[in-house]
Amino acid sequence: MIIDCHGHYTTSPRPHEGWRQQQIEAHAAGKPAPPRPTMTDDEIRETIEGGQLKVQRERGTDLTIFSPRAAGMGHHLGDATTSEAWAAACNELICRVCSLFPKNFVGVAMLPQSAGASPRNCLAEIDRCVNQYGFVGVNLNPDPSGGHWRDPPLSDRYWYPVYEKMVEHAIPAMVHVSASCNPTHHTTGSHYLNGDTAGFNQLMNSSVFKDFPTIKFIIPHGGGGVPYHWGRYRGLAQDAKLGLLSELMLNNVFFDTCVYHLPGQELLAKVIPVDNILFASEMIGAVRGVDPETGHHYDDTKRYIDQLPLSAADKGKIFEGNARRVYARLSAVIAKQSATAV
Ligand SMILES: [Zn+2]
């Protein structure tokens, strides 16, 4: 089985994103949000069958761990109340996709984070998504201010209520920022990769893994700048007398393969142990074009993994085994959802 651990509902029905626009406008005008639009199963089916499901089939992958559109989370917009309603709407839609395509999608939640608001706000939504929807993880935004980095770092006890909840449910978090509202940071070109790199470095300089020995984080987009600069982080850990970086981080931190060229994948697989690499493509996502050098989509990351000089057993870990281990609830959810499939 080939499990893509990083996909977003970037093709969601228009009324859904339209309502978000209305909600934010109503908030700015000091008015209540309009009622949420109704969307039929057929509307949802259409967006998936012509989108993510089609690409899964073309590329030979089986299952996507699926969450709401990341740039659309917009935790810097509105306030805690608007975030709560928006996260609920987005997660509900993911749940509907997983119910309609139970063999192809398993859900991950976006959180109702809001710049400056306590992450405690997120706990009820996590409970709902795990207990009622069968979701297997969350996306945790380390910068709800959208590119201004005004909230405390992930090392701070500020985040501990979310970490406690993650451990309680045995769910990992993908460290994933949303859109940038800071014009100095392009959303997918710099803010995403900065978020990955900063998140790793914040966790490295923390006692989070001492306090939560079983907690797990996925650093997406190939780990941002981290694998390329592994020597720097090893040296920083050494200078700060934190011990060996591998011992400090690799029981708890994992990297996905959203790296859009073969040399980057080669570096990732050379630097990071195969046990810490999870297959992912983030399709349909940030980079949608075809690479003229290869004739294939940049985000067709399975092709790069196929070309790596790794054993079949190691590729099996990257494609499936590691995801089942890191997302501890995944195997049970796959079994349960498959049983409901027609
Ligand atoms: Zn993403």
* pLDDT tens digits, 169-223: 999 999 999 999 999 999 999 999 999 999 999 999 999 999 999 999 999 999 9
Rounded distance between C-alpha atoms, residue 147 and residue 236, angstroms:
25
Task: Decide the pairing of beta strands 253-256 and 277-278.
Answer: parallel
Asked if residue 42 lies in contact with residue 108, where contact means CB atoms within 8 angstroms, the answer is no
* H helical segments located in the chain: 14-28, 41-49, 52-59, 80-100, 123-131, 160-169, 192-204, 208-211, 230-239, 245-249, 262-271, 301-307, 312-316, 322-326, 330-340
- Taking the whole predicted model, whether its pTM rises above 0.85 is answered as yes
- pLDDT tens per residue, range 108-159: 999 999 999 999 999 999 999 999 999 999 999 999 999 999 999 999 999 9
- CA–centroid distance, 288 to ligand 1, in Å, is 13
Residue type at 165 in one-letter notation: K
Asked if residue 250 lies in contact with residue 236, where contact means CB atoms within 8 angstroms, the answer is no
Give the 3-state secondary structure of residue 17.
helix
- Among this protein's residues, is 168 annotated catalytic? no
pLDDT of residue 104: 98
- CA–centroid distance, 41 to ligand 1, in Å, is 25
> In Å, what is the CA distance from 33 to each residue of 18, 20, 49, 81, 94?
12, 9, 31, 11, 21
- CA–centroid distance, 282 to ligand 1, in Å, is 6
Rounded distance between C-alpha atoms, residue 188 and residue 254, angstroms:
20
Asked if residue 89 lies in contact with residue 117, where contact means CB atoms within 8 angstroms, the answer is no
- CA–centroid distance, 176 to ligand 1, in Å, is 7
Asked if residue 274 lies in contact with residue 318, where contact means CB atoms within 8 angstroms, the answer is yes
Backbone angles phi, psi at 309, to 5 degrees: -80, 65
Q: Which of 43, 46, 58, 282 is catalytic?
A: 282
In the predicted structure, residue 336 carries a pLDDT above the cut 80: yes
